[in-house]
Amino acid sequence: MAKNDQNDLPPPYFPSIYPPLPPSAHGDLVYGLTPPSQPHYIPQYPPVVIVPQVSQPLPPKRSRCRNNAQCYGGTGGILLVLGLLALAIWLGVRYGTTIASIYNHTEDLYSEYDDDNSVSIPTHDICPNTTVNCDGIKDCVYGTDESICIRLLTGNRLQVKTAEDGRFLPVCSSNWVKAYSDQTCAQLGFQSSYETKIQSGYTSKGLTITSWGTNQFIQGSASVIPECPDEQTVSLQCIECGQQKSVARIIGGELSKPGEWPWQVSLRYQNSHVCGGVLISRNFVLTAAHCFLGTEPSPVASKWKVYGGVVSLDALQQPYEVTKIILSEDYDNSTNDQDIALIKLAMPLNFDDKVHPACLPSHDQQWQHGTECFTSGFGTTVASSNSATNNLRDVNVKIIDTDVCNTPGSYSGSVTKYMLCAGHMEGGKDSCQGDSGGPLVCENNGVWTLAGITSWGSGCGDRNRPGVYTRVTSVLPWIYSKMMQEMS
């Protein structure tokens, strides 16, 4: 968090990283119309010698050979390669799997998730060309054909997509039992369900559940009916979340109290704070993908630790061991698009007043311009500093419409549909280096929902340079898909 105001405003949290911008004529940094180059990761805290926004090393491209002897042993090598290629093609035809589907499942699988195609998730899976999405039968190796068939709308209204209809439809409450709630939440990657309610007044086509056995997908047991009996549908909440249990919130960038932001965690690499993170269930933490770049070719889970319920880095408790780190396959480290990562903990957590998850947003959640939210973190309070603060701080910021954020005087089109701006255009309150991966949460009726993950920005609290966050609603399918794969 950083201060940047003569009126002694609270320290702003600025995203841990920001893409370098081409200098303008007057020497200031201004986003151009072309995508920014390699994001500059703000230096981390000693003794860590990593830069979270350095691009992840990619496999070297094959170079042209200087002579035939170097090219797979000359002509014989070429013939061998051609023979292997012919064999691969034959196997594809023989077993009904196209060469393209070996590496990437069809784009249609994920573009269908939203009626407006506003979000997508990676299509890296191995699927036969006979794959039928949402039919309850796992065709793809990683199950992506069945992992995007459930969504929760405002009020936790449950919708399921089936192969029979091809659209997301509400689930009728008739025949619904607690075991179905638990199985549905397990399919989303949670351990069980928390609360099931019945909503009335739905008069259109719906789904009814019949003969749903254990370890089956709900979409394979759902049948389309013209209307729900008694016009009642299912509302489902998988986990108690978004509750501040022990203290009233503090406005304006003050030191946070224990339990004030119980979903906030410190992500540490070899005993040094690198980034923040957000607890979303007993098993998973969300953070920014860029936090792991520059450490190894791929993150080594054993070198990372997660600390929850912490408001001071000088008073750390027992860490949570990390068993897996999953980076978004579609993360673009040149633009910071889809800057999201999921951390799987080795053991499920027990919740208390100081350790409690934030709520994930509903599929149709909209954040209106001017909505007041909060961001928190252990980041520096000075933009040019290389050191984290020892104490957790929070600051209130406002959602800024993307059109405003993308104006020539601000980020000039660099904010994509996967990003969300929050802060104050006049400057002063923002995130800063060390806050990356932390939460942007918004409150409604006493429940705190995760709107964004701290990602990047230009400076800390500068005028017309608000913080930029990963828009969580845009990556919800990816989050649920990965949780489901890890818990299945």
Whether 314 is catalytic is no
436, 458, 474, 481: the active-site residue:
436
Helical (H) or strand (E) element with 482: helix 476-487
C-alpha pair distances (Å), 401 with each of 71, 200, 429, 459, 475: 54, 34, 17, 19, 18
Sign of the dihedral through C-alpha 78, 79, 80, 84: positive
Instruction: Tell me the residue type at 51.
Output: V
Strands 419-423 and 393-400: what pairing?
antiparallel
Instruction: Calculate the dihedral angle through the C-alpha atoms of 82, 88, 89, 90, rounding to the nearest 10 degrees.
Output: 110
Q: Which of 339, 394, 430, 435 is catalytic?
A: 339
Contacts of 209 (CB under 8 A, 6+ apart): 171, 175, 176, 180, 218, 221, 222, 223
Please report, for residues 22, 51, 320, 390, the alpha-carbon distance to residue 40 in angstroms, rounded to integers and kept in the order given: 13, 8, 29, 23
Cα–Cα dist 94/99, whole Å: 12
Assess whether 40 carries a catalytic annotation: no
Residue tagged active-site, from 290, 356, 363, 424: 290
| Token pair in block for residue 200 | 């009335």
Q: Which residues form the catalytic set?
A: 290, 339, 436
